[in-house]
Each structure stands twice: as structure tokens, then as C-alpha cells.
Amino acid sequence: DQQVKQNSPSLSVQEGRISILNCDYTNSMFDYFLWYKKYPAEGPTFLISISSIKDKNEDGRFTVFLNKSAKHLSLHIVPSQPGDSAVYFCAVLNEKLTFGTGTRLTIIP
């Protein structure tokens, strides 16, 4: 049973607009959440994280929101740029790092 779900396999967004990537998790005991970005032929790279004691963390154009009651995590990218086109994985850290299936984001120039 998948503990981390990214229900949208793909997303297309116009350049300059906001990209919102979503992630749901099942275990309310999870306490640390991460987003990774992956380009083709490269391994995932760490993007941003958030601890369960916070509900928002911001780093430049990237903001992660955590809704603990809904067990929902989202990544906002604004403004979206063509270089943001990649696959985005959410991951939760409890005793180990568990990844979602990823969402392919395409930014349309």
C-alpha cells in the first residue's frame, strides 16, 4: 500500500504562472517532508523540505505548504520558468525516506 501518493502524473503550466504540485500521505506520524526534482538522465536533487512543526517553508520561488490535518503537502513554484520542467518527487522521512511516484511538470514558454 502506497504511503505517499502523487495523484497527478503530469502537469503543464504557462511560463510565469504558478505551478502547484500536490502530495498526500497516509501516516500521521510522518514528521519531515522533502521535495526532490529530477531531470532526465540525472538523479533526484533535493529542493526544499519542511518539518511537521511548521505549515510553510519558503526558499526563493519555491514554497512548500503542509496541511497536517488533511495529510497533504504541496509545492508552489512562482513564477514558473522553463528550467523548472522536470519530474518532482515528494518524500517523507520517518525511519526511512519514502518517495511518491512523481509528477512531470512541463513549463510552456
Footprint of other proteins (CB under 8 A)? 2, 4, 31-32, 34, 36, 41-46, 49, 51, 89, 93, 96-102
Q: Which is nearer to other proteins, 6 or 19 (CB)?
A: 6
Residue 35: other Cβ atoms inside 10 A? 23
Alpha carbon 85 to its chain centroid, in Å, reads 13
Minimum distance from CB of 50 to other proteins (Å)?
10
Minimum distance from CB of 32 to other proteins (Å)?
4
Q: Which is nearer to other proteins, 46 or 56 (CB)?
A: 46
Residue 89: other Cβ atoms inside 10 A? 21
